[in-house]
Amino acid sequence: MKVRTLIADDELLARERLRQLLAGQPEIEIVGECADGREAVAEIQKNTPNLIFLDIQMPELDGFAVLEAINLEPMPVIVFVTAHDRFALRAFEVHAVDYLLKPFDRERFQSALHRALEQVRHRGDPARAQAQAALLTDMQKSAKSVDRLAIKSSGRITILRTADIAWIQAAHNYVEIHEDKRSHLLRESMAGIEQKLPPDKFVRISRSVIVNVDQVKELEPTFYGEYKVTLHDGTRLTLSRRYRKKLPQLGIL
């Protein structure tokens, strides 16, 4: 039996990537593609897919609202696909079988697909569903920092290695990420981006600034208990008194 599969993502390139990865899978039959949440609900009701690769942040309705709007029994198996890991816990709470964080490689996709196909075969088995939920919770707990960020801008997705980031500053509802001579805006809070970054490499030196410790060239104490932080590219930042406890992470004991 073919596994009827739906792809729902507002990014054309993301849909094409999923379609390419699914090509050649003999058990998969792609029954539709959607670019927004309302279209996804209509396609799900019409085609009753067994498996859905579902983006979370989409126009009209997000991925969670899509699941609330459909009324199928048994429910399709869901693999969330998103550029943001802050939705992971909620995804597990609605029993998604996996959570693909963009950008992902073929090996990671194959792992998610294998898990999803196993779940399709055992839909309706309560014990299996409970075991899967426990597994996903463990996966979420073990998720740590990322080594790449996906930044959407002007219809494109820029893949940025965290090692290339020099420093980050708050910009209202965004953060401005500085690397070399370029900067990128990402819709994220400072707390959110701080959780994503390797804690041994990135230090928050004030409410509005995070710095890559490998980019720090010089620290200079001031009369006010603060430190002037100079990066290798000449950028000068301030480590505030409130964040003096972070000095050991910058090499000052």
CATH number of residue 72's parent domain:
3.40.50.2300
Of 107, 142, 177, the residue at which a domain comes to its end is: 142
Residues 156, 227 share a domain: yes
At residue 34, the 3 state secondary structure works out as strand
Domain that holds residue 183: 148-250
Question: Same structural domain for residues 211 and 127?
Answer: no
Chain CA centroid to CA 32, Å? 24
191 and 69 share one domain: no
Q: What is the pLDDT of residue 6?
A: 96
pLDDT at residue 155 above 80?
no
Question: Tokens 């696909």, residue?
Answer: 81
- Segment 118-140, tens digit of pLDDT: 988 876 566 555 554 554 444 44
- Regarding whether 26 and 45 lie in a shared domain, the answer is yes
User: Same domain for 127 and 216?
Assistant: no
Identify whether the C-beta of residue 249 lies closer than 8 Å to the C-beta of residue 203. yes
What is the bridge-based pairing of β-strands 167-171 and 209-212? Answer: antiparallel
Q: What are the beta bridge partners of residue 36?
A: none
| Domain co-membership, 47 together with 138 | yes
Pairing of strands 236-239, 202-206: unpaired
For the entire predicted model, the pTM comes to 0.52
CATH number of the domain enclosing 245: 2.40.50.1020
Residues 201 and 129: their CA atoms lie apart, in Å, by: 38
16 lies in the same domain as 93? yes
CA distances for 240 relative to 178, 219, 221, 245, 251, angstroms: 20, 12, 10, 10, 16
* Alpha carbon distance 187, 182 (integer Å): 17
How far apart CA 247 and CA 117 sit, in angstroms, is 49
Q: What whole-number distance in Å separates Cα of residue 105 and Cα of residue 84?
A: 16
Residue 229: per-residue pLDDT:
93
- Domain edge (last residue) among 142, 165, 182: 142
Question: Do 132 and 110 have their domain in common?
Answer: yes
Q: Are residues 7 and 127 in the same domain?
A: yes
Structural domain count, the chain: 2
Choice among 98-112, 116-130, 163-177, 201-215 with the minimum mean pLDDT: 116-130
Same domain for 136 and 46: yes
Q: Domain boundary residue among 90, 121, 142?
A: 142
Asked if 238 and 199 sit in the same domain, the reply is: yes
State residue 150's pLDDT score: 79
67 lies in the same domain as 175: no
Q: Which residues contact 144 (CB under 8 A, 6 or more apart)?
A: none
